[in-house]
Amino acid sequence: MAWMRGAGNPWASFEQAAMELFEFQFERNVPYRRFCESLGKTPKDLGSWLEIPALPTDAFKFPTFRPRSFSEKRVTRRFLTSGTTKDVRGVHEFPDFDLYRTSIKESWRTLNLPEIADAWFLSQSPSVAPESSLVAMFEVLGDGSSDRWLIDESGKFQLSAFRERARGEQPVCLFSTALALLRLIETEEPIVLPTGSWIFETGGYKGLTETLEPEIFRQKVGTFFGISPGKILNEYSMTELSSQFYRWPDDAGHRGPEWTRIRVIDPETGRVAKDGEAGYLEILDLANLGSVLAIRTQDLAISQGPAEFLLLGRDPGALPRGCSRAADDLLKNR
């Protein structure tokens, strides 16, 4: 956490930090160790961080497979992946919230993202959705704002205070999933935000009832709120991670903080893809200290740098998941 806050990197390189963390998790995280051993990968077998086995996100769904590096009695926080009541939901457990909170706040700072002033959340509140990692992230970025949550426990928009605030002159920032924004656009009258306002959105554009290209989505949102599409920040993360990646529309790709790295894996060879080639996205997140540092996503991407990628979309064979889907399920029948 001291390193994240700018006190200096205690490791000589990301390589050293990742290999040290892998050895720690191999020793203490029994399910992950068994997974690695099944692949013939132990700390003494690896030549670099590029060879650290990435655990598929689906592994977090197994009830007898809890990938944590600490005992069950130390669990103080638990996040569940999005899904319906019939879905098997993944579980990410934490011994405390300090490292997770630090990663969120320091990622925002080190990536030079805009100051958060007068934040509002097109989301349920932490008291209604305590097991949502996205809602927890919103709460951290909003510094505990208690009266800015715009979706009630039944899934209905509560917008009167936000509409009143939007008539003022000072800029605001609105945090939301993509599909919650689409539901808002479909069912409510436009809300023109003050000059200088911006929007944070996450969760993807592919819902159960519609599919939009990112450019069309941003145009719809910009028109509804009276802002430039260039003022819409997209976030990429997932319940199984502790860090986030961000992209403005004009950026080459999503960027993560210095304690993350990405790998794009060639689906035919299983090795790191060549520059410019598409493959499966894997993410190494040192903030995942208590679980697994290397995660295999179900998304396709092209590498743009050590911690930057161009997201191409979801593997067509993967099941729908994510925060935007949860918002869609909640709001579509309101």
Euclidean distance between CA atoms 98 and 95, whole angstroms: 9
Q: Which amino acid is at 149?
A: W
> Does residue 324 have a pLDDT over 60?
no
220 is written with which tokens? Answer: 């719809």
**Mind listing the pLDDT tens digit for each residue in 192-234?**
999 999 999 998 755 445 567 889 999 999 999 999 999 999 9
Q: Three-state SS string across 162-205, please?
A: HHHHHCCCCCCEEEEEHHHHHHHHHHCCCCCCCCCCEEEEECCC
Mean pLDDT of 298-311: 96
What are the residue ranges spanned by the domains of the chain?
14-79+256-314, 100-251+320-331
Assess contact for 43 and 21: CB atoms under 8 A.
no
Euclidean distance between CA atoms 119 and 137, whole angstroms: 13
Q: Which class does domain 14-79+256-314 fall in?
A: mainly beta
**Mind listing the pLDDT tens digit for each residue in 23-71?**
999 999 999 999 999 999 999 999 999 999 999 999 999 888 899 999 9
Euclidean distance between CA atoms 260 and 6, whole angstroms: 15
DSSP 44: G
Least confident among 2-16, 18-32, 162-176: 2-16
- Give 100-251+320-331's CATH code, choosing from 1.25.10, 3.30.160, 3.40.50, 1.10.3470: 3.40.50
Element (H, E) at 27: helix 14-28
